[in-house]
Chains A and B, each alone.
Chain A
Amino acid sequence: MRTNHLRSVAVLGIAAAIAAPALVACGSSGSTSDAGGPVTLTYVNWDGGMQAVVDQWNKENPNIQVKLSKPSGTGYTLYNKLITNNQAGTNPDITEVEYQALPALISNKVVVPIDQYVGDISSQFDKSSLAQVQFEGHTYGVPQNICPMVFFYRKDVFDQLGLKAPTTWAEYAADAAAIHSHDPKQYIGNFSAVDSGWFAGLAQQAGANWWTATGTTWHVAINDPATTKVADYWSNLIQQGLVSPEPNWSPQWNTDMNNGTLVGWTSAQWAPNQLPSIAKDTAGKWVAAPLPAWNAGDQTVGIWGGETEAVTTNSKHPAEAAKFVKWMNSSPEGVKILIQQVDVFPASLANQTQDALKTPPPFMSNQPDYNTLMTQEAKNVRTFQIWGPDANVTFDSYSNAFASALQNKTALSGALTQIQDATVSDMKQHGFSVSG
């Protein structure tokens, strides 16, 4: 018995030793091509439905084949991996990157400018979209989508309570009180202490500019009056217990959305893409309305989310990669599939009138003019002038500071100061010049 074990262990060991070199050879990275033969590009993206986009491209471009891969982390976990792997040269050719993270990737030389490949795209996008991908005269991506923030609510519940969709934040607070007093277990929405992008969008609506740049000097103002106003407003609602403290996408929050505990969601354009797996049983009951405003009649809204594709420094075929990016995010064909399969609302102006947008996302079948509303909201978008080079530190600090403020029941504006300090000190530490 013992001998058998020993032998089998030895055999396994030897087999593994022999196999190892083969396994080493199995791994490869980045793009490949034979001389003059087809080019294979690797593309990492975490959105569902992207395979259809890639398949269509591959069908039409036999010489430039794109291979889609899902990362094992999203957001900053992915970006950080890209930064680390940059040195090893193993990054994919093309990566999805959210607008707020692009400066950080540029700063770390992970992505390259693609002006020479995509040409002048300024006529195809509005100013705020262009501002997300252009820095110091170079273009680093082709904006994929605009995600204006939108207010979703359960019309059936509102009707029952005789409430209308709030048009101002004052009305929102009043509605919150009405809903909650009618049923202490119901809320008009939640305050998410983990979604910094969400809060940034609200700050944008209020007129904030967390980062501004003059020449090569940065100015950071996260705890400016506009943002503080937003923080105080929500502090007030939280203190009165009128909003749920559950973070978005937590299982508890999922349940609450599905069973009518939450009857509203301050979200963004892409919500109908997410809602089926959040609140399947409520399909067709939600209605989208413009986000409440600070002043009646003001239609400005901020954004939450939105991304572009970028070409990495490691890519051996930047020209082909950029070609794919441009096709995907600005050609009628590419954008059509994005709309249909990924529920994107395109940033590309010409494509905002596509027929595909005439049908609402399946979850909003009760609101046929959903995309018309989006088109209108997209025109009202206001974003930060620029995203800071260490937005990840800001966002990380956000979730810590706001989460403990919620836990300790302290004012959210105190958290803002923490975030401000963390951001500034990190930038200074890295040698950026920061004024004030």
Chain B
Amino acid sequence: MSTVGDRPIASPVRPVSGGVARPARPARRVRRRRRSMLPLFLLTPAVVLFGLFTIAPGIYSVWLSFRKTQVGGGLLGDLNPTEIFAGFQNYRDAFADPEFRHSIERMLTVAVIGVPATIVLATTLALCLDAKRARLVGIARLGIFLPYAVPGVVASLLWGFIYLPATSPIGGASFDYLGSRAVFFSVANVAVWGVLGFNMVVIYTSLRGLPRDLFEAAELDGAGELQIALRVKLPMLAPTLTLVTVFSLIGALQLFNEPTTLKPIANAITSTWVPLMRVYADAFVNNNIYQGAATSFLLIVMTVAATVIANAVVRGISRRSTR
């Protein structure tokens, strides 16, 4: 495909369609001169680093999941520890362990509370930001985005103090926020708190990008603001909502910071409360990176499955509502 035949040759600087930025058409460039080495040069650092720090460790981790150590002779086994092939034993151990299944259940419980809460709250807030004549918008947006600046571990510490009966400003003395039932909500709350602002801003900017003439048309037809929000804006936000849901789901499946930090003050949280804590305990406390690798890999498989399903479900819902 030649560059000349692609499109009409226009004046150099003026964009062809008059002002609105379009995603660029992928343009095949068969040059009359030598093909540029620039893309290769630009990509090399990223590719090298990616290979070194993501691909290689990822593969190594999978490989480790099929290995284990055996102690050597001697009472303390220090005579000759070796690493041997373990087949699927690490995976079998994970499946056989009822605690692992429970940890998945608990993680899902937090997810079922946290993910819908994040989506619903973020969407509601975004719609409110977009509402006509809403006041204090700028400052609210700032405040809601603030938690993003707080490291996960620190956020859990903060909320830990807030849940503690001794220091709680929200009645922690009478209600056990860290009791065996409430703890799921409490953990979910910390996670939601941390990501609410970010998701809200994503949805809001997407909202601002929607063509406003549709809203005005609806208003002309007599639709109230709420109706417009629910019937017009929401369906058009479907792709963004899908994105936000998928990322929230991935985050929920990788729940770790919040329960780990709250653990010292909550009897209800064990050291393997969610799958990633189990991975952490295996890898960082029990010196069993092999088991940790196997469990992580299982988790990744689950995450992929969940995101594929979630994607399909949300697309299905949004398609139905736009009909």
Direct contact of A and B (CB under 8 A): yes
Chain A residues proximal to chain B, CB less than 8 Å: 76-77, 80-81, 83-84, 103-104, 106-109, 135-136, 193-194, 213, 215-216, 218, 245, 247, 249-252, 254-255, 389-390, 392-393, 396, 399-400, 403-404, 406-408, 426, 429-432
For residue A412, give the distance in angstroms from its CB to the closest CB of chain B: 13
Tell me the bound Cα distance from A431 to B284 in angstroms: 21
User: Contact between B75 and A399 (Cβ–Cβ < 8 Å)?
Assistant: no
Listed by A's residue number, 15 A-B pairs whose Cβ atoms lie within 8 Å are A76-B286, A80-B285, A80-B286, A84-B287, A107-B71, A108-B81, A213-B75, A389-B77, A392-B286, A392-B287, A396-B271, A403-B268, A408-B180, A430-B68, A430-B69
Q: Mark B239-271, 1 if CB is under 8 A from A, else 0.
A: 000000000000000000000000011011011
Point out the residue from A81, A106, A403 that lies within 8 Å of B270, measured CB to CB: A403
Q: A407 to B76: give the CA distance in the assembly, Å.
A: 36
Chain A positions within 8 Å of B271 at CB level: 396, 399-400
Check B78 against A106 for contact (C-beta < 8 Å).
yes
Shortest CB-to-CB span from A389 to chain B, Å, is 6
Q: Report Cα–Cα, A39/B272, bound state, in Å.
A: 43
CB pair A83 B287 closer than 8 Å? yes
B165 sits at the interface (CB 8 A)? yes
B73 within 8 A of A: yes
Question: Apart from A250-B265, A430-B68, what are 14 other A-B pairs with CB-CB below 8 Å?
Answer: A76-B285, A77-B284, A80-B285, A84-B287, A108-B78, A109-B81, A216-B74, A252-B165, A389-B77, A393-B286, A399-B271, A400-B270, A404-B270, A432-B77
**Are B78 and A432 within 8 A (Cβ)?**
no
A136 touches B76 (CB 8 A): yes
User: Which residue in A81, A136, A430 is a CB contact (below 8 Å) of B74?
Assistant: A136
Q: Is the CB of A193 within 8 A of B267?
A: yes
Contact (Cβ within 8 A) A431 B285: no
Which are the 7 A-B pairs with shortest beta-carbon distances? A431-B70, A400-B270, A255-B166, A107-B76, A216-B75, A431-B71, A407-B180
Q: Is B113 at the interface (CB under 8 A from chain A)?
A: no
C-alpha gap A430/B71 in the complex (Å) = 6
Q: How many residues of B contact A (CB 8 A)?
A: 31
Known A83-B287, A193-B267, A431-B71: A396·B81 in contact at CB below 8 Å: no
The answer to whether the Cβ of B281 comes within 8 Å of any Cβ in the partner chain is yes
Closest chain A residue to B70, Cβ basis: A431
Residues of A within 8 A of B167 (CB): 251
**A44 CB → nearest B CB, Å:** 17
Q: Which chain B residue lies CB-closest to A194?
A: B264
Question: Taking the nearest CB of chain B, how far is it from the CB of A241, in angstroms?
Answer: 15
A193→B265 CA distance, assembly (Å): 11
Interface residues of B, Cβ cutoff 8 Å to A = 68-71, 73-78, 81, 93, 99, 161, 164-167, 180, 264-265, 267-268, 270-272, 281, 284-287
Contacts A251-B166, A404-B270, A429-B68; A216 near B73 (Cβ below 8 A): yes
A-B contact count (CB 8 A): 97
Nearest CB of B to A347, in Å: 22
Q: Which B residues lie within 8 Å of A106 (CB)? A: 76, 78
Q: Enumerate chain A residues within 8 angstroms of B71, measured Cβ to Cβ.
A: 107, 389, 430-432
Known: A396-B281, A431-B71. A389 touches B161 (CB 8 A): no
Bound complex: CA of A390 vs CA of B285, how far in Å?
11
Given contacts A247-B267, A430-B70, A432-B71, contact A396 B76 (CB under 8 A): no
Q: Are B267 and A403 touching (Cβ within 8 A)?
A: yes
Residues of chain B lying within 8 A (CB to CB) of residue A426: 286
Beta-carbon nearest neighbor of B179 in chain A: A407
Name the one of B77, B264, B268 contacting A250, with C-beta atoms under 8 angstroms.
B264
Q: Nearest Cβ distance between residue A199 and chain B, in whole angstroms? A: 15
The residues of B that contact A254 with a CB separation of less than 8 Å are 166
* Residues of chain A within 8 A of B264, CB atoms compared: 194, 247, 249-250
Pairwise interchain contact B284-A80, C-beta atoms closer than 8 A: yes
CA of A213 to CA of B73, assembled, Å: 14
| A135 interface neighbour in B75, B165, B286, Cβ under 8 Å | B75
**CB of A13 to closest CB in B, whole Å:** 11
Q: Could you say which residues of chain A place their CB within 8 Å of the CB of B93?
A: 429
Q: A77-B284, A431-B70 are in contact. Are A109 and B78 (CB under 8 A)?
A: yes
CB distance from A217 to the nearest CB of B (A): 8
Question: Which residues of chain B are near A104, meaning CB under 8 Å?
Answer: 287
Contact (A399, B285) CB under 8 Å given A251-B161, A255-B166: no
Q: How far is the CB of A428 from chain B (nearest CB, A)?
A: 11
Q: Check A107–B285 contact: CB distance below 8 A.
A: no
Q: Please tell me if the beta carbons of B73 and A251 are within 8 angstroms of each other in the complex.
A: no
Smallest beta-carbon distance B290→chain A, Å: 10
Whether A396 contacts B268 in the complex (CB less than 8 A), given A103-B76, A251-B166, A430-B69, comes out as no
B268 CB contacts on chain A under 8 angstroms: 403, 407
CB–CB A407/B75 < 8 A = no
Residues of B within 8 A of A431 (CB): 69-71, 77
Q: How far is the CA of A389 from the CA of B76 in the complex (A)?
A: 6
Which residues of B have CB within 8 Å of A77? 284-285
A252 in contact with B164 (CB, 8 Å): yes
B285 touches A406 (CB 8 A): no
CA distance A83 to B288 in the complex (A): 11
Point out the residues of chain B lying under 8 angstroms from A81, CB to CB.
Answer: 284
| Contact residues in B for A247 (Cβ distance below 8 Å) | 264-265, 267
- Give the distance to chain B from A113, nearest Cβ to Cβ, in Å: 10
Pair A430/B77 contact, Cβ less than 8 Å: yes
With beta carbons under 8 angstroms apart, the residue of B69, B73, B99, B265 that contacts A252 is B265
In the complex, the answer to whether A406 meets B267 with C-beta atoms within 8 Å is yes
The answer to whether B287 and A108 have CB atoms under 8 Å apart is yes
Measured between beta carbons, the chain A residues less than 8 angstroms from B76 are 103, 106-107, 135-136, 389
Closest B residue by C-beta to A429:
B68
Bound CA span A84–B282, Å: 12
- Residues of B within 8 Å of A245, CB to CB, are 267
Smallest Cβ-Cβ distance to B160: which chain A residue: A251
Closest residue of chain B to A393, judged by CB? B286
Q: Which residue of B has the minimal Cβ distance to A406?
A: B267
When chains A and B are docked, how far (Å) is the Cα of A218 from the Cα of B77?
11
Inter-chain CA distance A211–B81, complex, in Å, is 21
List chain A residues, Cβ under 8 A from B180.
Answer: 407-408
**CB of B289 to closest CB in A, whole Å:** 8
B82 to A, closest residue via Cβ: A431
Of the candidates B70, B78, B285, which one forms a contact with A396 in the assembled complex, judged by CB atoms under 8 Å apart?
Answer: B285
CA distance A359 to B258 in the complex (A): 45
- B81 partner residues in chain A, CB cutoff 8 A: 107-109
* Chain A positions within 8 Å of B99 at CB level: 400
What is the CB-to-nearest-CB distance from B156 to chain A, in angstroms, rounded to a whole number? Answer: 14
Q: B12 to nearest A CB, angstroms? A: 21
Closest to A402 in B: B267
The residue of chain A having its C-beta at the shortest distance from the C-beta of B281 within the complex is: A396
Q: Which residues of B contact A108 (CB under 8 A)?
A: 78, 81, 287
